[in-house]
Amino acid sequence: MSLFAIGDTHLSFSCDKPMDVFRGWQDYVTRLEKNWRAVVEDTDTVVIPGDLSWAMRLKDTLEDFRFLNDLPGEKIILKGNHDLWWETMKKMTAFLEENHLHRLHILHNNFYEAGELALCGSRGWIMGEGEDDRKVLLREVARLETSLAAAKDCGKEPVVFLHYPPITLDRKCDEIIEVLHRYQVKRCYYGHLHGPALHSAVNGEVDGVVYRVVSGDALEFCPHLIEKF
């Protein structure tokens, strides 16, 4: 059993939004499926930290979700900035059940266990300075803390997954980083960054936390192995 992560799958089976027009994304769905099946076994878990589907409505995610559901392993999914289909936990859980998508699980104000790890996280938010951005950021900070607090009593190492990077080479989100330190998080994985923006990604240890970008193109569409159990 192993734990993997890969974000930003940007699937579009039910809408005309191909990512192939961007450099490095040519034939990315085929590459993703081939690489996934080569490294992930059915007993493994894969965390997908946001930007799963270009669909605008939950019902239109069905083909994208079927594609992910049918790949090996259990999948833990988080919200990204482009996941405009995202609904309430109740509606999304019902949708997954109704469509027999039993290998997709939602990480939102909760946590999951994998081996000796507790998988926690939230979407996070941009490191902006506007009042509206700050309100959203504080909500995401609260969701991250709720997730970590829920996992605290299980006695396992908390590992955090975010869509937005909490730190780059030139900026950092003090509010989220403070929560990571308070809950003694040692590993944090994030997506969102693509193309030239990857040059600002932090991949390594900063103040006791190891950060790693796991967006699809950063990994050349091959799930990143976090740990074998």
Task: Compute the distance between CA of residue 220 and CA of residue 214 in angstroms, rounded to an integer.
Answer: 10
Given this model, what pLDDT does residue 134 score? 87
Pinpoint the alpha helices (H) of the chain.
28-39, 62-70, 89-98, 131-151, 174-182
Confidence of residue 132 (pLDDT cuts 50, 70, 90): confident
DSSP state of 28: H
Q: Walk me through the domains of the chain, giving residue ranges and CATH numbers.
A: 2-228 (3.60.21.10)
More confident residue, 101 or 24: 101
Burial of 189 (0-12, 13-18, 19+ CB in 10 A): buried
Given this model, what pLDDT does residue 16 score? 78
- State the pTM of this model: 0.96
Give the pLDDT confidence of 170-180 residue by residue, as tens digits: 999 999 999 99
